[in-house]
Amino acid sequence: MPPKGSGCPATGVVSDSTGTTGTTETTGTNATGPRVEAIPEGLVRLGARIDRWRTPTDPTTGVEPPRSSSPGWLRLIGPGIGVVVGLILVRGVLGGGLPEGDDAPYHVAKNLFAFSEIFGRGHLDGWAPTFSMGSEQFLLYGPGSALVASALRLFTFGTVDHPTLVAWVGALGYVATAPAAYFFARGLRLGRVGASVVGVASLCVSVPFGTGLAGTFDLGLIPHQLAVPLVLVTLGALVQVVESPDRRWVTLAAVAAMGVTVTHLTSALVTLAAFAVMMLCHWATPVRDRVRRPPSDGLFAAYRLALAGVLAAGFGAWWLLPLAENPGPRPSTATWRTPPFGEEVQRLLRTRLWASQVVVALTLAALAACAIWLIVGSEALSRLGRWRVAVVAAGPALLVLLYAMYHVLPGDTGLLMVNRGTGYAALLWILPIGVVADRLVARRSDRVAMALPAALGLIVVVMPALVPASGYAHRAVPPRPELQAAGRVLADSVPPEGRFAWVHERGFDTSFGPVHPELWLAMDSESATLNGFGGETISPVDTFLQYRLASIDPRQAEPLLIRDGVTHLVGRTSTLAAYAEQPGWRPVLVDGELTVLEHIDDVTLAAPLNDQRTELLAWSPERVRWRTEGAEELVTGLPAFPKWHLSIDGTAITANERGGFLTARLPDAGGHIVEATFRRSWADRLGVAITLVFLLARFGLPVVRRRRGTGPASAVSEADGLAADKDRAEKGGDDG
Residue 681 maps to a domain: no
pLDDT at 731 over 60: no
Predicted pLDDT at 286: 79
Predicted pLDDT at 24: 36
Predicted pLDDT at 346: 67
Task: Specify the amino acid at residue 107.
Answer: H
Domain of residue 523 covers: 481-599
pLDDT digits 0-9 by tens, 592-633: 889 999 999 999 999 988 889 999 999 999 999 999 999 999
Query: Phi/psi zone of residue 33: left (φ > 0), alpha (ψ -120 to 50 degrees), beta?
Result: left
The pLDDT > 70 percentage for the chain reads 81
Q: What is the mean pLDDT of residues 344-366?
A: 74
pLDDT digits 0-9 by tens, 490-501: 999 999 999 999
Q: What is the mean pLDDT of residues 96-113?
A: 93
For all residues of the chain together, what is the average pLDDT?
Answer: 83
Q: What is the mean pLDDT of residues 636-652?
A: 92
Q: Residues 6 or more apart from 678 whose CB is under 8 A from it? A: 126, 127, 621, 622, 623, 643, 644, 645
Q: Is the dihedral of CA 467, 432, 67, 453 positive or negative?
A: negative
Does pTM surpass 0.75?
yes
The pLDDT > 90 percentage for the chain reads 56
Predicted pLDDT at 727: 45
Better pLDDT: 141 or 342: 141
Lowest mean pLDDT among 51-60, 334-343, 685-694: 51-60
Residue 616 maps to a domain: no
Predicted pLDDT at 415: 79
How many domains are contained in the chain?
A: 1
Confidence of residue 292 (pLDDT cuts 50, 70, 90): low
Predicted pLDDT at 289: 52
pLDDT at 1 over 80: no
Residue 229 maps to a domain: no
Predicted pLDDT at 611: 85
Predicted pLDDT at 540: 59
Q: Give the side-chain half-sphere CA count within 13 A for 644.
A: 27
Predicted pLDDT at 706: 73
Confidence of residue 539 (pLDDT cuts 50, 70, 90): low
Residue 651 maps to a domain: no
Q: Is the dihedral of CA 534, 537, 542, 545 positive or negative?
A: negative
Better pLDDT: 514 or 67: 514
State the Rg of the chain over Cα. 29
| CA–CA gap between residue 320 and residue 328 (Å, rounded) | 14
Helices (H), 554-700: 554-563, 577-580, 682-695
Give Cα separations from 120 to 109, 116, 125 (angstroms): 15, 5, 11
| CA–CA gap between residue 147 and residue 132 (Å, rounded) | 23
Residue 582 maps to a domain: yes
Residue 398 maps to a domain: no
Residue 362 maps to a domain: no
CB 127 within 8 A of CB 137: yes
Predicted pLDDT at 55: 45
pLDDT at 245 over 60: yes
Task: Specify the amino acid at residue 435.
Answer: V
Full DSSP string of 50-113: HHHHS----TTTTPPPPPP-S-GGGGGHHHHHHHHHHHHHTGGGTTSSPBS-TTHHHHHHHHHH
Other C-beta atoms closer than 10 Å to the C-beta of 12 total 25
Residue 188 maps to a domain: no
Q: What is the mean pLDDT of residues 534-559?
A: 74
Confidence of residue 348 (pLDDT cuts 50, 70, 90): low
